[in-house]
Amino acid sequence: MCIPVQAGKNLHLISKKTGVLKMEDSVTDDCTVNFEWKRQIGCSSGGTLWLKEGWLEFAKRNKIKAGDRLMFVISEQAATEVKMNVVRI
């Protein structure tokens, strides 16, 4: 499942638990993170972000912890995957 936004748009991830932590703590399996996202233009929707690595490895590599506010910047979008950078805000 691709994220239906164009390259260069920002995804703001919001936790249902705290409203500040951008990612949900629990995931259904090792490769997906459920999230709510909001585009810069203000449209909101929901979706699933597919990670090539496990969520714990992803969080550790990017030094993500509770309370962090993160922004995912899409750099490239293909038919089956989305490449993006993590930016701390």
Q: Is residue 67 part of a domain?
A: yes
Please enumerate in sequence order all residues whose Cβ is within 8 A of that of 11, keeping only pairs 6 or more positions apart, or say none. Answer: 3, 5, 35, 37, 38, 39, 49, 71, 72, 73, 74, 84
**Phi and psi (nearest 5°) for 33?**
-130, 120
Q: Is residue 4 part of a domain?
A: no
Domain of residue 44 covers 10-88
- List 71's β-bridge partners, or say none: 12, 87
Q: Is residue 31 part of a domain?
A: yes
Q: Is residue 57 part of a domain?
A: yes
pLDDT attached to residue 67: 58
Split into its structural domains, the chain has a count of 1
Q: Is residue 44 part of a domain?
A: yes
Confidence band of 69 (pLDDT split at 50, 70, 90): low
Average pLDDT value for residue range 75-83? 53
pLDDT attached to residue 78: 52
pLDDT attached to residue 61: 77
Q: Helix or strand or coil: residue 89?
A: coil
d(CA 75, CA 49): 15
pTM: 0.37
